[in-house]
Amino acid sequence: MGKAKKKLLKITVAILYGLLSAVGINIFLLPANSYSIGIPGIAQLLHAILKLGAIDLSISDLVILLNIPLFVIAWKLFGREYTTYSLLAVAANVVFLKMVPNVVILKEPLTNSVIGGLIIGIGIGLCFRSDFSTGGTDVIVTYLQKRFKLKIGSINNYINGCILITAALFFGFSGAIYSFISMVVTSLAMDYVYIQQKSTMLLIFTKEPVILEESLRKLGYGATIFKGRGIYSQSETDLIVLMTKNSQLSSLKKMIKLCDPKSFVSIQKADSILGNYYQINRAK
């Protein structure tokens, strides 16, 4: 994919996230008195608390105010490109929060919380797949992790926990429970969308390299074959190394066992890939 197409795809994803997040919040979470994760959730909570004091500051305005100092930090931490697309995602979210009406489609709070969390999670996952974030607490998490060597998962839990506790104190435990449900669904949806595109490395030890090589070539996979020898058995074996997406892993394992039932396969998660090894070979 060329640079122009990649930029267009990232812009499209950023705008799509803005729409999905706004729909999830305005149409599903707000009617359920349920709060989202991260900055949108904090903005929702502040909006509701300020209304108790007769201060009507919109959620979209609060999202802007909360993100301004965070993007200054993001520019220093992540650089221009990452921050620019993240800023676009937040800007799109703000625009759509103002455009999408606060209508009640479903009256069941639990259903609203699940659907709202699902929609928002898909949007966030798409952003992560495109190598940028939705701004907000992602910046806080990364800064605290680098500054104090804290675990990312723990920081996220603390932030979302604070949202839940505040919601419970001001608006009762029912809202906190529905918020917890929406947060869990958001995290699951986000992980599924993002992780399905993560890469996995397979090390295949086989005595049938020709059959496997032919099958892999037909499926469009590139791979590297090494000659090896077992220390205990002293018998020769072949090692095939290849990369695949998590979404294709199940079908690939079935194919390997079909070609060589006696093969030994080691599967390792690849957090990142440098270069174009996988993309070039898959394109052939």
186-236 residue pLDDT tens:
888 887 887 766 678 889 998 888 888 888 888 778 888 898 888 888 888
What does the pLDDT read at residue 102?
Answer: 86
The pair of three-digit structure tokens given for residue 65, joined into one six-digit string: 């105010």
Identify the domain boundary among 195, 219, 251.
195
Residues 40 and 133 in one domain: yes
Q: How many angstroms separate the CA atoms of 150 and 68, rounded?
A: 24
Residues 157 and 27 in one domain: yes
Radius of gyration of the chain (CA): 23
Q: Which domain holds residue 234?
A: 199-283
Residues 18 and 83 in one domain: yes
Q: Is 71 exposed, middle or buried (0-12, 13-18, 19+ CB in 10 A)?
A: middle
In which element (H, E) is residue 226 found?
Answer: strand 224-229
Residues 50 and 121 in one domain: yes
Global confidence as pTM: 0.69
Residues 117 and 137 in one domain: yes
Residues 191 and 203 in one domain: no
Q: What is the CATH number of the domain that holds 205?
A: 3.30.70.120
What does the pLDDT read at residue 282?
Answer: 42
What does the pLDDT read at residue 280?
Answer: 39
Any long-range contacts for 171-180 (C-beta under 8 Å, 24+ apart)? Answer: 171/33, 171/48, 174/33, 174/109, 175/33, 175/34, 175/35, 178/32, 178/33, 178/34, 178/109, 178/110, 178/112, 178/113, 179/34, 179/35, 179/41, 179/113
Residues 183 and 245 in one domain: no
DSSP state of 231: T
What does the pLDDT read at residue 122?
Answer: 93
Which residues in the chain show pLDDT less than 50?
Answer: 277-284
What does the pLDDT read at residue 146?
Answer: 67
